[in-house]
Structure formats: structure tokens, C-alpha cells
Amino acid sequence: MTDVLEVKNLKTYFFTDEGIVKAVDDVSFRVPKGKTLGLVGESGCGKSVTAMSIARLVSPPGRIAGGEILLNGRDLIPLSEKEMRQVRGAQISMIFQEPMTALNPVLTVGFQIAEAVLAHEKVSKNEALARAVDAMKAVSIPDPEKRAKDYPHQLSGGMRQRIMIAMALVCQPALVIADEPTTALDVTIQAQILELLDSLRERYQLSLILISHDLGVIAEVAETVAVMYAGKIVEIGPVMDVFHSPKHPYTEGLLRSVPRLGASVETGGKKDRLYAIEGMVPNLLRLPSGCSFAPRCYKKTEECTLCEIPLEPLSGVEARKVRCIHA
């Protein structure tokens, strides 16, 4: 199966007055055509910076310090800003978590979708608007011809997120990056948006990177999951394998801290305390030596703190990789 995206040893650092923040440090993964990769981890682990790096949207003092980002075999890192503008929207699209801040409040939503077409294709304004209405139809917006004339504030949160998806898909890109696309929405709308993304991925054979801290969302939609901690991938593999038998203590902790329905019934009605991972996320300016997770880990031995732990395949399973000497 062909890989639409291959990220190799990506490093994105922020050069601050206090020192270098390694927000993304030696991250590698691939996304095959028509498949979904889930990126999970707690806030500040580098998920969004990874996404921004792929779209080359990291602003100073941050910059990509090394690695390769291959989109259909073409490395995006050496491209000029002018060349990147032709890639963004046409070949890579992003769906952000806050549609109200991502949409322009003074332009109609139809015009904003049409603008994406006009930026990348030589078509008339009327044709671009017709394409915008078609895109709105594809994301199940009722009465799209009428809705295209609405402004963002006239639409509900779920509708605005659908507009963002329509905008991302109107030029039929090869890769869509959805950064927490359901965070600002209520639960029933979340499910609809995820179903929509999944059905559009199948229909258009899109490759999708779904960023979320919600493990249920990832289990529902992704084939592969990459778990990030302190700027590094600590575990990667097929989603069901990773969730059924996590090999990294951090993945284990994340899965155990998900609240379960009926948990207090199992313990004879006693209120179950929610599991929490001990300790705090490390300061990226002063990372501990060796494994970044070692200070919070129940399996920690002295060996863990001696040197950098590589991300290695599990014995006999090439698809599963873990950054832990106890795996």
C-alpha cells in the first residue's frame, strides 16, 4: 500500500531566551492512502506542533530543525513559502478545533469555501461558488444553496465545524489533518462529525491524521495509533493491539485513566477513584536524562535513566514499536 505521507525523524524546536524547547523530537510515522492515523497524548506533548510542522505552519521562535516530511515522495521541508502555499489547501488541508476563530466573521461561509477553490484552481467565481455548495452538500448541510449565504455567527457549532470540513475537502487534498475537531462540540454532535469524517475518508480515499486526547475517538476511527509524550512517540501500532495490550507504561496509564461506565457497580457500589498517572509532565527545557517518562513510571529502574531509549519494534511484530526497555 502506498504511503501518502511519511514523516522521518522530524525535529521541531523552539529557540527561546531560556533555552531550546524540543517540542517535537525525532518523530517518525507513515500514513497510507485512505487510512487514518490517530495521534494521542496529554496537552503539551507535541501533537499539534507535529501537525503544524507537516503543514509548515510553525511560526518563530519555532522552526523545523531536522528530518523529512515526504508527501507522495516529495520532501516539503526545503520548499519555499510560495511553493508551500500551493501545497496547503490543495494537497494538505487542516481542520482546526475552534471553527469560530478559524472562520472570518464578516464573509459568508459559501464565499469562504469558494475562496479555497479560487486560490488553487483557475475557475470562474460562479464555478467556485457552485463547488462550495457541492462541498456543503457532501458534509450533509441541509439546504446548502441558502446556507452558503449565511455568516458564521448564524450557524450552530456543529454546522460551523461542517463548514470547516467542507473547506478542507473542496480541493480534494491527499491528506487531511484534523486537530481535535470535536473538542468544542457536545457529545451527540461529536459522534456525527466523526462519522462524517470517516465516511468522507472512505468516499474520497483520503489519508487522515486525527489528533485527539480522547482515546474513545481514536479507537472508533483510526487504524493506527501513535502515543506521544514530551515530544516523542513512545508507542505506535495498530489501534486495537495497542489499546488491548499496551506495552508502554504511559499508554497503560492513559488507558487506565479513562472513566468506565459501571465501574463502581463492579466494586460493590463503592465509589471508585479515577486512576491518575503520578507526577507532572516534565518541563521541556529541563527534560530528565534517559527516558522522559521515568520519573512518573512504576517500572523505573536505574537503566531507564542512563541513556536515550530508542523506539524499537516489539520482538517479532514489525508494526508495533515501543520506547521502553521493559517492553
Residue 185 has a pLDDT of 80
Residue 267 has a pLDDT of 58
What is the chain's mean pLDDT, rounded?
A: 91
Q: C-alpha 170: how far from its chain's center?
A: 20
Mean pLDDT of 93-115: 90
> Is pLDDT larger for residue 13 or for residue 267?
13
- With 0-12 / 13-18 / 19 or more C-beta atoms within 10 angstroms meaning exposed / middle / buried, residue 70 is middle
Using a CB cutoff of 8 Å and minimum separation of 24, what contacts does 248-256 make? 248/293, 248/322, 248/323, 248/324, 248/327, 249/293, 249/297, 249/298, 249/299, 249/324, 249/326, 250/277, 250/293, 250/296, 250/297, 251/227, 253/277, 253/296, 254/40, 254/41, 254/42, 254/215, 254/227, 255/215
Mean pLDDT of 313-318: 82
pLDDT class of 238 with cuts at 50, 70, 90? very high
Backbone torsions φ then ψ of 214, nearest 5 degrees: -95, 110
> Is pLDDT larger for residue 181 or for residue 111?
111
Mean pLDDT of 191-198: 89
Backbone torsions φ then ψ of 297, nearest 5 degrees: -100, 135
